[in-house]
Amino acid sequence: MSRAFIREAEPTEPRCPGCDAPGEQVGPATLKAHLPLADSAALGERAFYCVASGCRTAYFNGWGVSVPADRMTATAYPKDPAGPLCPCFGVTVEEVLADARAGHKERVKDLMERSRGPEARCVERCPDGQPCLPRVLRLFRESFQTP
């Protein structure tokens, strides 16, 4: 199936009703892991997650259903700036920044190893259903200082 066909079939991507940003598309596995059953059921099979930290909306779909972030069963960065950057391994922004500024690569290297194994369950554990490693690496690289 070509990309052009997909675009024709779904002409408009819904935008977050709270902040008008486009969301990350998520499936039922992600929704069920982060919301009470009634909320994930109301959103259906295809919903979107708003990653904006200042926005109170967490999930929404193309039919006007939205669920606020305070109904989520677990928090994560960047919705909660103090929440885990990587819910699979519990790594926080603070830890990654501290390592980067001190020039310590051990934790990130360890994470790269472990992210290939069965502990990495990003589809369920990350609220946007996306792999958490690229987020960790981006933050680490941006702040890395040679000691």
Hey, is 72 helix, strand or coil? Answer: coil
Using the minimum distance from each CB to Zn ion, give the nearer residue, 43 or 55: 55
DSSP 61-128: -TTS-EEEGGG-SS--TTTSTTSEEETTTTEEHHHHHHHHHHT--HHHHHHHHHTTSTT--HHHHSTT
Q: Mask of contacts with Zn ion, 8-37, x by CB under 5 A? A: --------x-xx------------------
Within 13 Å and on the Cβ side, how many CA atoms surround 111?
Answer: 24
Q: Is residue 51 a contact point for Zn ion (CB under 5 A)?
A: no
41 binds Zn ion (CB under 5 A): no
Selected range binding Zn ion among 2-10, 57-65, 72-80, 130-138, rule: CB under 5 A: 57-65
Note whether 50 binds Zn ion by CB under 5 A: yes
Q: Among 24, 28, 32, 52, which residue sits at the site for Zn ion (rule: CB under 5 A)?
A: 52
Cα 87 to Cα 92: distance, rounded to the nearest angstrom: 9
State the residues that interact with Zn ion by CB under 5 A.
16, 18-19, 50, 52, 55, 57
